[in-house]
């Protein structure tokens, strides 16, 4: 799915069955991510036919937003996805995999299905088996690398994805024009799209996503009850992820537990080096300088990647 270098592609137009305003988009799972997708798309496509699908209690919360053309309970899945041009799977990971299996015979032939889960290998493997027909429907794995420490539709915001990386893992033989339409729709959220192999994605996420979550949790447990009411922005920023929902994280971490353990061991090795240096009254200049250069390279690569994709 990589773009041809040096050629910018026009964005902002989604065409399948007519104008962009005629699209029917169904978002299944109206938590933070699903709700933010709905709000972001509706803000850019105000006349879009947007359908929300979840349990009744969640739908009652989402109803007040006024962005949905229809809100349909998840037990009426066939009704929710009927005539959809795009379906976003924003439920917990294991539920998304089950939904993908169910949707094969429920969505129109020209429909594009995508998800937002932090694991891509398994769901893409399922899609390659069930969504292999060139005429569709099609599946493209997705993962927005953005979030908040809050959860639920009440925490959703249309700006959640702006300037943030959104990984895409192609899993179906989708025609070039439909792929271009899909990318245009995704870019309407403000995200920076990044094409990546599913296996490479899952391996990278252990370092860039799972490890920060575990570090934030451990740091908060270490500092708990010992701040004397004087916690500053450093501690608050570094422990923001400590309030994350374990329902979201447990399946992801357990699925990649071997690599997660390896990354924790790497972290422990650096902590041990710093601990020994402090114990022997050595300056930490070397570690500070190494970390500063690594951080500078990380920021440069991130900004460069964002600029290249805009």
CATH value at residue 222: 1.10.3660.10
pTM: 0.82
Whether 7 maps to a domain, the answer reads no
Whether 13 maps to a domain, the answer reads no
Last residue within a domain, chosen from 196, 224, 254: 196
The reply to whether 139 and 258 lie within a common domain is no
Whether 235 maps to a domain, the answer reads yes
CATH value at residue 127: 3.40.50.720
The HSE-up count of residue 98 (CA atoms within 13 Å, CB side) is 7
Whether 211 maps to a domain, the answer reads yes
The reply to whether 180 and 138 lie within a common domain is yes
Give the number of other CB atoms < 10 A from CB of residue 160: 22
DSSP codes of every residue in 108-166: -TT-EEEE--S--HHHHHHHHHHS--TTS-EEEEEEE----S--SGGG--TTTTTT-EE
- The end-to-end CA distance of the chain, in Å, is 16
| pLDDT, tens only, 205-257 | 999 999 999 999 999 999 999 988 899 999 999 999 998 888 888 988 998 99
The residues of the chain scoring below 50 in pLDDT are 1-18, 309-310
Q: Which domain holds residue 151?
A: 20-196
Is-contact 14 75, C-beta < 8 A?
Answer: no
pLDDT at residue number 21 = 55
pLDDT at residue number 18 = 42
Q: What are phi and psi of 256, to 5 degrees?
A: -115, 30
Chain length of the chain: 310
The reply to whether 185 and 259 lie within a common domain is no
Whether 33 maps to a domain, the answer reads yes
The reply to whether 186 and 219 lie within a common domain is no
pLDDT at residue number 16 = 43
Last residue within a domain, chosen from 171, 196, 221: 196
Last residue within a domain, chosen from 196, 225, 250: 196
The reply to whether 45 and 92 lie within a common domain is yes
Whether 228 maps to a domain, the answer reads yes
pLDDT at residue number 84 = 97
The reply to whether 188 and 273 lie within a common domain is no
The reply to whether 155 and 213 lie within a common domain is no
Give the number of other CB atoms < 10 A from CB of residue 54: 25
The reply to whether 304 and 187 lie within a common domain is no
Whether 59 maps to a domain, the answer reads yes
The reply to whether 148 and 272 lie within a common domain is no
The reply to whether 29 and 114 lie within a common domain is yes
Is-contact 84 103, C-beta < 8 A?
Answer: no
The reply to whether 192 and 216 lie within a common domain is no
The reply to whether 26 and 173 lie within a common domain is yes
pLDDT at residue number 47 = 86
Give the number of other CB atoms < 10 A from CB of residue 231: 12
Number of domains in the chain: 2
Q: Which of 153, 148, 205, 207 is nearest to 27 (CA)?
A: 153
Whether 150 maps to a domain, the answer reads yes
């Amino acid at each position: 799915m990589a773009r041809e270098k040096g050629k910018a592609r026009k964005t902002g137009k989604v065409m399948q069955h007519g104008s962009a305003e005629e699209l029917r988009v169904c978002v299944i799972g109206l938590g933070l991510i699903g709700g933010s997708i709905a709000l972001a798309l509706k803000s850019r496509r105000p006349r879009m036919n947007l359908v929300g699908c979840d349990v009744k209690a969640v739908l009652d919360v989402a109803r007040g937003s006024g962005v949905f053309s229809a809100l349909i309970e998840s037990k009426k899945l066939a009704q929710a996805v009927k005539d959809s041009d795009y379906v976003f799977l924003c439920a917990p990971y294991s539920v998304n995999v089950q939904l993908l299996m169910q949707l094969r015979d429920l969505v129109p032939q020209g429909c594009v299905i995508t998800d937002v889960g932090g694991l891509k290998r398994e769901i893409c493997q399922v899609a390659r088996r069930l969504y292999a027909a060139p005429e569709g429907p099609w599946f493209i794995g997705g993962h927005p690398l953005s979030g908040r420490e809050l959860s639920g539709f009440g925490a959703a915001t249309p700006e959640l994805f702006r300037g943030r990386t959104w990984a895409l893992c192609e899993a179906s033989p989708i025609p070039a024009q439909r792929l271009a339409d899909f990318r245009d729709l995704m870019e309407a959220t403000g995200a920076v799209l990044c094409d990546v192999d599913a296996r490479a994605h899952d391996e990278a996420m252990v370092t860039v996503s799972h490890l920060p979550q575990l570090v934030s949790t451990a740091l908060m447990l270490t500092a708990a009850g010992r701040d004397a009411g004087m916690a500053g922005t450093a501690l608050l920023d570094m422990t923001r992820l400590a309030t994350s929902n374990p329902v979201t994280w447990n399946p992801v971490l357990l699925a990649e537990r071997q690599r997660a353990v390896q990354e924790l061991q790497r972290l422990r090795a650096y902590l041990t080096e710093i601990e020994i240096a402090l114990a022997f009254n050595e300056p930490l200049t070397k570690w500070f300088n190494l970390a500063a250069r690594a951080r500078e390279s990380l920021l440069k690569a991130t900004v460069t990647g964002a600029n290249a994709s805009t």
